[in-house]
Amino acid sequence: MSDPTPSPTPAPVPAPAVPAPAAHAPSDHPAMQLNRLSKRFGDKVAVDDLSLTVPVGSFYGMVGPNGAGKTTTLSMATGLLRPDAGQSLIHGVDLWAEPLKAKALIGNLSDGVKLFDRLTGEQLVTYNGLLFGLDRDEVAERVADLLKLLDLESAAGTLVVDYSAGMTKKIALACALVHAPRLLVLDEPFESVDPVSAANIRDILTGYVQNGGTVIVSSHVMDLVQRMCDHVAVVANGRVLVAGTVDEVRDGSTLEDRFVDLVGGRTHAEGPEWLRRS
C-alpha cells in the first residue's frame, strides 16, 4: 500500500468494481472440461470415471452428499491431486500436461487445506498476488479493493490464524480472486459464512460471471445453488448422476427434492428413544 492515510468512512458509495476476469480472445473451448477422471484411495473409489463440461460464462453448482467425491474431483481438476486416470482441460489447456499455464487461469479456493495463517490477511492476499507474478503496485491496488469488497478492511492487519471461520473463507476467496482468473473453482465457499457476507459473496460472484468469468462452486445448500447457479451437477459415489441447467435438472420440482430423489438415503426416524427423553 502506498497510501497510509486512513480511507474515508465508507459512505453508501457503490461497491468497488468486481474484479473482471482477464481479457482474452474468445475461443470455443469450455472453461473446464473433465474427461473420465478417476481416483482410488486404497480400496475406496473416490472418483469413478467422472466427466463434466463447464461452459464459459456459466455459474456452475456441484452438489452431492458428504463423501461424494466433490473435493477430490475439484482437487484433481485444479492440480492439487494427481488423478489415476483422466484429463482436466482448462480453457482447452491440459492441466496435467501444462500445469503452470493452466493454473494461471484458475482461482482456487480449496476445502480442507490450511492457509499460511501466520500472515496477516493483507499479507496473505499480497503473497498470493506476488506468487502469480503480479507487480507490487498492481497487487497493492487489488488487495485494497478485495479487502474492501469482502468487508475485511478492519481485519487487514490481523493474523489469519485469529480470524473466525467465516472470515477465513472470505480471505481465501480474496486470495483466489487476486490474479483475476478466468475460472473460479470454489470448494464450499459458503461454509460458516454469515448470511450477510454470503449475500455479498454471491453478488461478487454473479458480477464476475456477468463480466464473462466462469464460476464453479460445490455446496451442500441446495436452496442457495438453485437461486445462484445457472448450471448444476449432482454428484454421488464419485459419479455425475445428472448435469445440466438448473431448470433441466430440477425438472419442475425443487432442487432439494430432486437431489433427495436422486441420491436417496432420506430417513424419517425420530432418533433413538433415549435421545428424545431429555
Partner 1 sequence: MVATLVRLRFLVLRNSLKRSTWQLVAVIIGALYGVGVLAAVVAALIGLGFAPVELASTALILGGSVLVLGWILVPLVAFGIEQTLEPARLVVFPLSMRQLLVGLTVTGILGVPGIVTSIAVLATFATWIREPLAAVAAVIGGAVGVLICVIGSRTVAALSTSLQSHRRFRELGGILIFIPLILLGPIITWVSQGVATSADALPQLARALSWSPLGAPWSVAADVAIGDWGPAAAKLGISLATVAVLVLIWRRSLAVALVTPPASSAKRVAKGKTGLFGILPATPAGAIAARCLTYWRRDPRYARQLIIVPLVPVFLAIYSGNMGSLVLLNLTGPLIAFVLALALYTDISYDGTAFATHLADGVRGIDDRLGRLWALSVIAVPVILLGTFIPVAITDSWANLPMLLGLAVAVYLTGLGVSAVSSSRIVIPVPQAGDNPFKSAPGAGFSTMLSGFATWGVTMALCLPAIVLAILSVVFDSVLYGWLTLAAGAVVGTIALVIGLRMGAAQLDRRGPDLLMRLKRMRSA
Contacting positions for partner 1 (CB under 8 A):
1, 3-4, 6, 78-82, 99-100, 102-104, 106, 108, 110, 112-120, 122-123, 126-128, 130-136, 139-140, 144, 147, 153, 156-159, 161-162, 175, 179
How far is the C-alpha of 61 from the C-alpha of 149, rounded, in Å?
23
Strand 93-94, strand 106-109: pairing: unpaired
Q: Which residue number, 32 or 241, has a Cβ lying nearer to partner 1?
A: 32
Give the shortest CB-103-to-partner 1 separation in angstroms.
3
Helices of type H across 6-135: 70-78, 99-103, 121-131
Classified as helix, coil or strand, 102 is helix
Q: Which residue number, 116 or 253, has a Cβ lying nearer to partner 1?
A: 116
Q: Which residue number, 74 or 232, has a Cβ lying nearer to partner 1?
A: 74
Whether the Cβ atoms of residue 216 and residue 62 lie closer than 8 Å to each other:
yes
Contacts of 245 (CB under 8 A, 6+ apart): 230, 231, 232
Q: Which three cell numbers stand for residue 59?
A: 455459474
Strand order, beta sheet including 32-41: 44-54, 32-41, 85-90, 93-94
Could you count the other beta carbons within 10 Å of the beta carbon of residue 84?
13
Whether the Cβ atoms of residue 18 and residue 207 lie closer than 8 Å to each other:
yes
Give the shortest CB-235-to-partner 1 separation in angstroms.
21
Q: Which residue number, 1 or 22, has a Cβ lying nearer to partner 1?
A: 1
Give the shortest CB-161-to-partner 1 separation in angstroms.
7
Q: Which three cell numbers stand for residue 124?
A: 496473505
The distance from CA 240 to its chain's CA centroid, rounded to whole angstroms, is: 18
Give the shortest CB-118-to-partner 1 separation in angstroms.
4
Q: Which residue number, 118 or 227, has a Cβ lying nearer to partner 1?
A: 118
Give the shortest CB-170-to-partner 1 separation in angstroms.
16
Give the shortest CB-136-to-partner 1 separation in angstroms.
4
Q: Which residue number, 158 or 200, has a Cβ lying nearer to partner 1?
A: 158
Classified as helix, coil or strand, 121 is helix
